[in-house]
Structure 1
Amino acid sequence: MEKVWGKTPDGQDVKVVEIKKGGLRAKVMNFGANLLELHVTLPSKDERDVVLGFRDLESYFTNDPNYGCSVGRHANRIGGAAFDLDGTHYELDKNDGGCNNLHSGFHPLHKRIWDIKAESDNSITFAIHSPAGDMGFPGNMDIEVTYTIGDKQDLIIDYKAISDEKTVFNPTNHSYFNLKGAGEGNILDHKVTIHSDQVTYAGADSIPTGEYVQIKDTPMDFATGHVVGGRIEADYDLLKFAGGYDHNYVLKNTEEYHEASYDHNGKNVYEAAVFSDPMGELFAHVYTDLPGMQLYTGNYISGTDLGKDSKIYSRRGGICFETQYYPNALNVPSFPQPIIEAGKEYNSRTVYRFDQQ
């Protein structure tokens, strides 16, 4: 059921919709196709909201941390805020450090009203049209994001897009998780496992250069599971550059991690990561068909954001698992490329599944 929360500064209705099934329910809104709440039912029958979000609507109109956003057209960074495609040079907004592009620019899709295309008790589809030249990107593009609560206490996020020109598309979801509950301190005590043995190298500007870093037995290595806070302040260049974890992990996506039940439109879906609260009560599994995942530990949460239930979110109060093509891939031809051909439909799936002990 749709409920009007308020209006955008230009007078458009902001609608909130709840979807639910089994032990999971979510609230999403048509502004930014944004995930607002995600409640997991515990064995005690209590619910725990495990994603961060603002108390008031107005804060979402700026939303510098990008709580819950459906980011697009292109998530993460593009070096020099420019790229070349088939001999044409494209210039984008320089909204990151005055020289790079971050999350598409100053007026990205996650700060616009989307249409509600379809909804049911456990699923909702948002749609938006992005015209040619929008944010500097080529092609008239029709984009859909569908949130579905499945049968396994899982939130399934499906992305679909089509363009009339060859273009770029690299969406992600920017939700911050805290499995103790939103606003319940920081996530340094969460245990994380990532199925990866390398990251893309990036310096202080967070722009990947094309190099890979082998991370086995370094503070970046989560292959066997580690507590986030155990090594986050280590004297290690990659961590010092980013002020903590904010890195693209190159996912293995091997048969060992294949989850066939989530395969989508002919693409295989793999487990990328697992994380848990400090008590070992609640576990979350991340699945994707994409080649990379940004682990971000909320290093730049200000410590002043007023969240749901009037709780102040602390620095590192949430952790993001942003499935993606590698940042700056458009300027590194050896990386997997976030390019779609004219008239060819793009499909991708990311899943967050919850287990209790």
Structure 2
Amino acid sequence: MKTKPLMTLMASAALAAALQTGTASAEKIAMEAFGKTADGQEAKVYTLTNKNGLRARISDFGATLVSMEVPDKAGKIADVTHGFDSVEGYASAGNPYFGASVGRFGNRIAKGIFSLNGKEYTLATNNEPGGIPCHLHGGKVGFNKKMWKAEPDEAKNAVAFTYVSPDKEEGYPGTLTTKVTYTLTEANELKWEVEAKTDAPTILNIVHHSYWNLSDDQNSSINDHILTLNADKFLPTDAGLIPTGKLEPVAGTPMDFTKPTPIGQRVDAKFEALKLGGGYDHAWILKPGSGVKLAARLKDPKSGRVMEISTDKPAVQFYGGNFLDGTVAGKKGVKYAYRTACALETENYPDAPNHKDFPTAVLNPGETYKHVMIHKFSAE
């Protein structure tokens, strides 16, 4: 199907409105106050805009994507992410990692324990699916709840965020310096890129964790969205959502998204993986390929908005919003209901440090960890 061009006229109108209301400045990258954390740190939000009217707002708290505004097939621009209106929401205990840069290790580690070079390390167990404790998304105070140093780059229409994680923070070995860069291109791509270096052997799996709903109603069900995953295998889990170590084919199962399929079409099927996850909350293994390759395509059939995700990582975690329950008040006070958004997190395999056959999660001194994730938006 032919993709319609996004309208420059809408871009001008949106930017003019932002200037009138004081939500943007005349500079290419606007900066605004975003509230204060409980310990008095002042958070900021940076706005990237392109000629087609796309607008990405990113905070230095958690290197977090606060909102992503994109046009539909009629040119109507809307925010397509879940989140909060100020830093207080992102710093709260009820924040389910909306828009965050997650680390050191995104996804789960069994029992919060791993071994590295013959030494066992114990991390916080801050999650317990199925009543089974595990380490999730970096621990009790992960990268998503840290203040990052921001460096806007007008020439590249980008903002880089740097955070230095000290040795033993959340139990991880080594001092780790991480740089996350968001870039908005004129090709309607939001690039999220990571580089990290350590002074001692450590493990990491830094991921981006936005919640997407491509419709004009952020409290509508995600189940009508059409999903395609470039993956013919997935990782089955135990009751604690920890991979068993096997790679299972998706063919003939409700896990098969190799062809465009409505998310809700089979979500309630009697299938063990769906039963254990309460729906979709699993890692899919991307088909082999070198460099940055297509991982997922998501489309809202009503608005026509399309998002394609490409990455250089071997897996994508598709989470269908199973734990959203209407208790978290987000932007404009909206209480996000059950399955009103999905997350598509490109990454290494969950619990990789505890599976010798999984891709390594170890970073050694002298090496550079890299992760590229590109979100490309269009409408049809």
Tell whether the structures are fold-level matches, with TM greater than 0.5. Answer: yes
Among residues 65, 73, 81, which one is paired with 1:35 in the alignment?
65
Equivalent residues in 2 for 1:1-357, closer than 5 Å: 1-23=30-52, 24-62=54-92, 63-97=94-128, 99-120=133-154, 122-181=157-216, 183-254=218-289, 268-279=291-302, 281-357=304-380
SS at match of 2:321: coil
C-alpha distance after superposition, 1:156-209 (max 9, x if no partner): 000010001121121111100001035241100000000111111202100012
Shift in Å at residue 344 of structure 1?
A: 1.3
For 1:270 and 1:213, the matched residues in 2 are separated by 21
SS at match of 1:219: coil
SS at match of 1:96: coil
Contact 2:35/2:86 (<8 A) preserved: no
Shift in Å at residue 279 of structure 1?
A: 2.4
Choose 220-229 or 121-130, whichever is displaced more. 121-130
Shift in Å at residue 278 of structure 1?
A: 2.2
For 1:349 and 1:236, the matched residues in 2 are separated by 33
**% same residue:** 34
C-alpha distance after superposition, 1:39-87 (max 9, x if no partner): 0133533211111112343221124311111000100000010101111
CA RMSD of aligned residues (A): 1.4
Match for 1:51: what amino acid? T
CA 1:350–1:223 in 2, change beyond 3 Å: closer, same or farther?
Answer: same
C-alpha distance after superposition, 1:97-128 (max 9, x if no partner): 26310111111011011111343272100000
- TM-score, structure 1 as length reference: 0.93
Q: Number of aligned pairs?
A: 345
Choose 57-66 or 226-235, whichever is displaced more. 57-66
**Structure 1 stretches (4+) deviating beyond 6 angstroms?**
none
Aligned to 2:27: none
Contact 1:285/1:353 (<8 A) preserved: yes
Aligned to 1:264: none
Aligned to 1:265: none
Match for 1:106: what amino acid? K
Match for 1:198: what amino acid? K
For 2:260 and 2:51, the matched residues in 1 are separated by 29
Contact 1:78/1:102 (<8 A) preserved: yes
SS at match of 1:241: helix
Shift in Å at residue 135 of structure 1?
A: 0.9
Contact 2:51/2:186 (<8 A) preserved: yes
SS at match of 1:5: strand
CA 1:60–1:280 in 2, change beyond 3 Å: closer, same or farther?
Answer: closer
Choose 139-148 or 20-29, whichever is displaced more. 20-29
Choose 301-310 or 135-144, whichever is displaced more. 301-310
For 2:304 and 2:296, the matched residues in 1 are separated by 17
Shift in Å at residue 22 of structure 1?
A: 2.5
Shift in Å at residue 321 of structure 1?
A: 0.4
For 1:290 and 1:322, the matched residues in 2 are separated by 10
Choose 238-247 or 22-31, whichever is displaced more. 22-31
Match for 2:108: what amino acid? R
For 1:300 and 1:58, the matched residues in 2 are separated by 21
Choose 229-238 or 195-204, whichever is displaced more. 195-204
C-alpha distance after superposition, 1:267-304 (max 9, x if no partner): x1000111100226111101000001100000001212
- TM-score, structure 2 as length reference: 0.88
Contact 1:4/1:13 (<8 A) preserved: yes
For 1:6 and 1:58, the matched residues in 2 are separated by 7
Contact 1:178/1:187 (<8 A) preserved: yes
For 1:149 and 1:136, the matched residues in 2 are separated by 35
For 1:57 and 1:132, the matched residues in 2 are separated by 26
Contact 1:117/1:126 (<8 A) preserved: yes
Contact 1:76/1:103 (<8 A) preserved: yes
SS at match of 2:170: helix
- Structure 1, unaligned runs of 5 or more: 259-267
